[in-house]
Amino acid sequence: MSSDFFNYSPFPEFKLFLSKNEPITIWLGYNDSPYESILIENLRMVFHGFSNMDEIQITVNGVTNTYQPKAWEIIEFPISSQNINEMIFTYNGNTVNFTEKYNDIMMNQIYYNHRP
């Protein structure tokens, strides 16, 4: 049996990877780097593995927002990934309470940056 470590999606129509980390120092080499060296703990999600995705409602700690993500687009929430008490996804009329699965995740990181 193989596992897809980058897919936590409760829906077969797309894949989902999400962050859950405390603030972490990122080593970027010995030279001065234009990149951030601290990875903050904000909740981030990246959707992938689809060609077209319909709108998804994401409820985090009672606050619901609707998104229509593009593949590999990173959605960042203004809340620490360590302070998630509730996470619910609604997609194509199906609602999944994801809280227990999220609580089972020990640590995931999404680090991204680009050249200025």
User: What is the share, in percent, of the chain residues with pLDDT greater than 90?
Assistant: 70
> Is residue 77 within 8 Å of 20, Cβ to Cβ?
no
Dump pLDDT digits (tens) for 13-52: 999 999 999 887 776 666 666 556 778 899 999 999 999 9
φ/ψ of residue 100, rounded to 5: -65, -45
pLDDT score of 12 more than 90: yes
Query: What pLDDT sits at residue 85?
Result: 98
Residue 65 has pLDDT above 90, yes or no: yes
CA Rg value for the chain: 15
**Token pair in block for residue 93:** 């009329």
Asked whether the predicted pLDDT for residue 63 surpasses 80, the reply is yes
**Three-state SS for 100?**
helix
Specify the residue for token string 């990877």. 17
Please give the DSSP secondary-structure letter assigned to residue 74.
Answer: E
